[in-house]
Structure 1
């Protein structure tokens, strides 16, 4: 039987080979907003360029040979992770050489370097589909993470423009990162605490449920910035006319409108996932529980909640990811968070400031997704060990 060709992998290696000849692998500029001059991979790697070409060719060869072989897929993933680390290390090496020559120009990664790393990442994703084992997958990630972290901690990347921006804003960066994480998890915590019971009410009280779902649908249809703007006026009114609101810190700008807007979006995800999960619970189980004399509260906590838990966690996962991204909008309402740096970067035409906060946001999203996905797997294993059914 003829095997189906994996066109996605072939496309990725073609792109990776083409990027060997790009004229914008990195760029150099006299200042943050100065004219940018593109650099080819040959200029960046210098005498090591032929070795980099060999590494890319070997990556292409592994992609062509690996097929469904688990170990070849694992080796290809490791090799791709190594290439990501090499690209960043080479960039730091070139930037250090420019600084050592007395040139004060800014050196940054450009579209070619980022595209090369994205291609390697996508190859890793494709390879991960062909082998199992969390330790193997973790080792693949650690190869590039270790190389980049080592370069950063040893000061080998200090002359890259993005690292210069970080060093100039180090204290403020960690303050805003803390604020970003706190509001993200606070929103999802309260969204879960309110959303799961609200979803249960919406499912059991059909008329009330229609009102709740319709209101949340209306809120979800509004752009985040528009919703925050709408909330500013009533909150500012409360601050000016209700002494208690003023003492509680309820204002028309900053945290309150951002928190309420994100909470509404979080409720949309969690309430809908709860209602959807309850709808597929086998009603015979509920009838048996009622026949045993269990109250609605007991039925929910002892029957329904254990059954719908994985689905609810999936809703929380979507809510957390969207909230982490949504907090960046808070900068436009005076809240701060990492979105403040994005606002500074956009208004100052400084791409590196934007990228500086994009990286931790992506890391937070990946870690949150991985942790909650792991929680779902643990719950599924416990359920299987106890002989419980799965929705």
Structure 2
């Protein structure tokens, strides 16, 4: 456990006043060997340099020469939130950092495990900075008044000490009212330029045509509403909030949206098993009316031809049976029955082979690019 030298000096002085070493170590969370080592270094050092000997010999945190930049830490968290199933080792390779460095960055935000990344993604999406609500700030102040340290609170709520003290001073000057905790710069739904339903319109346009740029989307919305709804910067902010600021991401979102909209239509027309329906609906469009009519005519013609050939076959078999002896008739009957049951069994087994073939041919294999975005490639 890393302690500042002032804290170490207080522990050493308490030990010199007669307080038991076990009690001091238990309260400070250190071992007895460290406490006695600090005591010996402090007592044996010159009087002009006593406090400096208690300084830590290991450089940690922001002063470490291997400290990652803020931009690199954000890149590590973005890769982890885009692909929660990735391991920490894979995230480190994609970000170009060491395994311990990536693990430390993710551990600081409780993102070092897949469950933590999925829980964070469900609550906040891919946003790295999450604003605190007034209720969360009041809860933080109450925990501070109950004796919890500022360091632990700032680490848990992901804010700086400067921000914490600024909020708590405003809260106390405002006589402990929630109005004093409202942001001076409103954002999101409380912003005065917020347009209800604008996000749904932008997402619908992206699903319809993922090649549209933020400028084009803003112009289309202006023509649609006959007034200025969202600027190109606002469109870009919405796209970035949902992780759609690149063409590849918008293209994948459009494919997912179209596939989800086609599932009930295709399910209603074709009664397929679930495993086949999930495969077919990803690339088969909904059947049109002309297709259904042509399908019906094809089935009528096929049934007529089958009935005609069946009638000819029965007539020929009846004529053959009239000219053959009884033994040949019995043998021919067993042969026809065997052929019939064999054909039925073959057709019944054929669907399993077709299912296996379709599943293997359309199975997906995941590939990851350098920025952590997953791409899919056909198995064949």
TM-score above 0.5: no
Higher helix share: 1
Which of structures 1 and 2 has the larger relative contact order (alpha carbons within 8 angstroms, sep 6+)? 1
Pick the structure with greater CA Rg. 2
TM-score, normalised via structure 1 length: 0.24
Query: TM-score normalized by structure 2?
Result: 0.25
